[in-house]
Structure 1
Amino acid sequence: MSADSPPGTASPLGRLFHRHPPVGQPNRAELEALPAKDRQDLWDTHRQRPLNVITSLITALGVLLGVAFTSFGLIYTARTLQTAQEGQVTLSDCPDPYD
């Protein structure tokens, strides 16, 4: 682990999740030094954060439900196919009408 890497990032996976150092809350002097548009962008980002979390959770739930329904559909189709093949009448099963 190098001296400039954040703690807990000794593995490549750790570096993947800690790309940027954590940023603290700006103080009042820093906020007043920003132009109005940048302050508004910061406020909008802060306000939308809970919405982004909720949207991500709903999306993840939708994907999981889609995977579950697809897997149940595949299982049902496989069982139906197996049942149809077991019940299929072949020529060897039928008596020969010419005997």
Structure 2
Amino acid sequence: MQSASADAGIPEPVFQEDQGFSVIFRKDMFNRDYLVREGLSERQISAVLYARENGKITNADYQRIADVSAATARRDLKNLVGRNILEMKGVRKGIYYVLKNTVHTSST
């Protein structure tokens, strides 16, 4: 189940044992638990959740929600792009970031 989840681009299932056994499948990879496990800072988590809810995030949005400078926002957003969480779109003053498509296909 874990490798199938990874192949489908979704988080690994959660296994619970409480008066029986259950498996919880989550379809949204970009939830708080996953982002914490990935080692993101609280402000980066806020940025990803903002992008998920609003469809995109800009440097100005990030500065506002994280209360950081433009340079810090740029570094943090670049880090999220490098981690394959966000994807940069647009050019120059029109740059914005969207959640990266995380569905992976197997070529076996």
Q: TM-score, normalised by structure 1?
A: 0.22
Task: Decide which structure has greater strand share.
Answer: 2
Q: TM-score, normalised by structure 2?
A: 0.21
Larger Rg: 1
Task: Decide which structure has greater helix share.
Answer: 1
